[in-house]
Amino acid sequence: SSQWQTTRGPRLCPAGALERAAWRMGCAPPCSPKPIPSEAIPAMRRRTLRQLCPFFEKPKASALFVTDAKLDDALALWIFCMLSFGRPADHKVDLKVLVLGVKDLVAGAALMNHVFSEARAAASKQRSEKELPTVDCEVFLSEHPASATIRHETMTYEPYRTGAAGFPTAASASESRSMRQWLQDSPGWSADLVMVCAQYFEYEVVASHAKGALRMEALSPILPADGGALVIQSGFNTRMEAEEGEGRGAWRSLKQQIEERRASLVFISNSFSFSQGGPKPGTLSPSDSPFVAELKKQSPALWEHLFKAGLSESLIFATDQMAKWLTKMRMPGVNYEEGGLDRAINEARATLPDGAVGLDAPGVSSLLLRTFLQERERSGGDAAAPNSVVELCKTLRSKVEEAAGAKAADYLGRAVGNFEKYGKTVEVTDGQHLLAVFQSRVASLVPATIDFQDPAGLQVDFAADDAPEGSVWAARDVDAAESLHWMLDAVRLENFASLVSNPSA
């Protein structure tokens, strides 16, 4: 039987008592307060992670990183590892990595092992082995793989599946233990710092990916140790497909247990954590980024591959959208027999590259992807050169919009944008987010409240100025441009103290 601690969520408050109970718990009632203007938050209300949880100053520390093993997760892990290797030589860090949310969990684990081993090698070039602290890492597998291949797996995991030179094979990670197995061998283990950058709640807390029947005991592994912190990206990673009221019960239980441990629950999101007017958070231009150049210098093969795969992921999204329509995939609200849509798609399909006859949607998507890249390469990488796939996408969008309306054609419009922006931006969300929380140069964490609204999911609000400080915090007013400079500093060991142990913030 499982060694995980079983915890039951509290019953919902009766009508009329919910708001009072929510206020006592620090959770937002259903009518959440309006966002507080930034200038209304006194400096004394702002904190750094160092002030909430001195993780990077603990001589002996433990951490758990929850990941779906893609480019921006690899960036997050690399940044965390380099910060860990920047610690004093007498420190020790015990890092656990849980891979979930993908179908090929073993290939994802091989990637995470590769990132750690390359980070260690890069750190040893900046300091002698004698000067490096002890950092150990073990990668675990979820027991609940995704039911279908996730978009980023195709390109990101390819060298691990094929055994490309310089890359560990997926088979090398096939003996990885599950988190459940490890916890059974280490009852009572908890991390000082927990970082959730994937859909832990959907894959581990919602039983068998079915609506309802939450596995409340699965909350235990992400509970931080006494005085620790749980850092979560709010939004996609906090979704939980549960029966009405169950999701709220799970979050209340999690928050209550965090409070009992005098720990902190920290949220960050592109939607509420970054200042307005700066560069778009979560992305950067790989062609002129000093951070990307430094990574490619530290581990050329790994980062050349991952950034190439990251760029290709946006293309896969685009060709997937085209393929759905070109193969007349069933979609909610779409009737191919109305508005001349069937005829329009047949006309568009007739212009497909050779070899498309008889292909299903994944096959058509792969053909379109290969054709786009081949034509781009033949043009010498000229983004302005004509490309038959881009032209087909524009035609398809126009025909779908004419026959089924602008809403139906929305994703095809995004696909056109992805083709046109190919090579110009890449996603770095997870790495940027975690470092924005880790850094202590600027105090950016403010008191917050949470509430789970069925079916919308978790809602995070900044607390009113006169509300008491509690266990819940959220990043606010982070300068996206400055955070890209922090990312460059983070991969140079000499910057450790000034970046995450700065007492002046």
Closest alpha carbon to 408 in 360, 349, 336, 346: 336
How far does the chain reach from its first CA to its final CA, in angstroms? 47
Nearest Cα neighbor of 203 from 173, 180, 183, 186 is 180
The three-state secondary structure class of 130 is: helix
CA angle 180, 185, 191 (to 5 degrees): 70
40 token code pair = 């209304």
Residue-wise pLDDT for 254-288, tens only, equals 999 999 999 999 999 999 999 988 888 998 999 89
The token pair at 315 is 């293309």
Neighbours of 214 (CB within 10 A): 21
Q: What is the pLDDT of residue 237?
A: 92
Q: Are strands 229-233 and 193-196 parallel, antiparallel or unpaired?
A: parallel
Mean pLDDT across the chain: 87
Cα–Cα nearest to 230, from 222, 218, 221, 220: 222
CA 486 to chain centroid: 19
Q: Give the neighbor-by-neighbor strand order of the sheet with 472-475.
A: 134-141, 92-99, 60-67, 193-196, 229-233, 264-268, 472-475, 445-453, 457-462
pLDDT, residue 18, reads 32
SS (H, E, C) 146-195: CCCCCCCHHHHCHHHHHCCCCCCCHHHHCCCCEHHHHHHHCCCCCCCEEE
Q: Residue 80's closest CA among 426, 429, 427, 430? A: 430
Given a cut of 70, the residues of the chain with pLDDT beneath it are: 1-44, 207-213, 454-456, 502-505
- State residue 44's pLDDT score: 58
How far is the C-alpha of 309 from the C-alpha of 199, rounded, in Å? Answer: 21
CA distances (Å), origin 136, targets 49, 95, 229, 346, 411: 23, 6, 20, 56, 43
| Digit-coded pLDDT (tens) for 358-381 | 899 989 998 999 999 999 999 998
pLDDT at 226: 97
pLDDT at res. 321: 93
According to the model, what pLDDT value does residue 267 have?
97
In angstroms, the CA 463 to CA 315 distance is 40
Length of the chain: 505
Ramachandran area for residue 165 (φ above 0: left; ψ -120 to 50: alpha; else beta):
beta
Q: How far apart are CA 379 and CA 294, in angstroms?
A: 28
| pLDDT tens-digit readout, 27-52 | 333 333 334 444 545 565 899 999 99
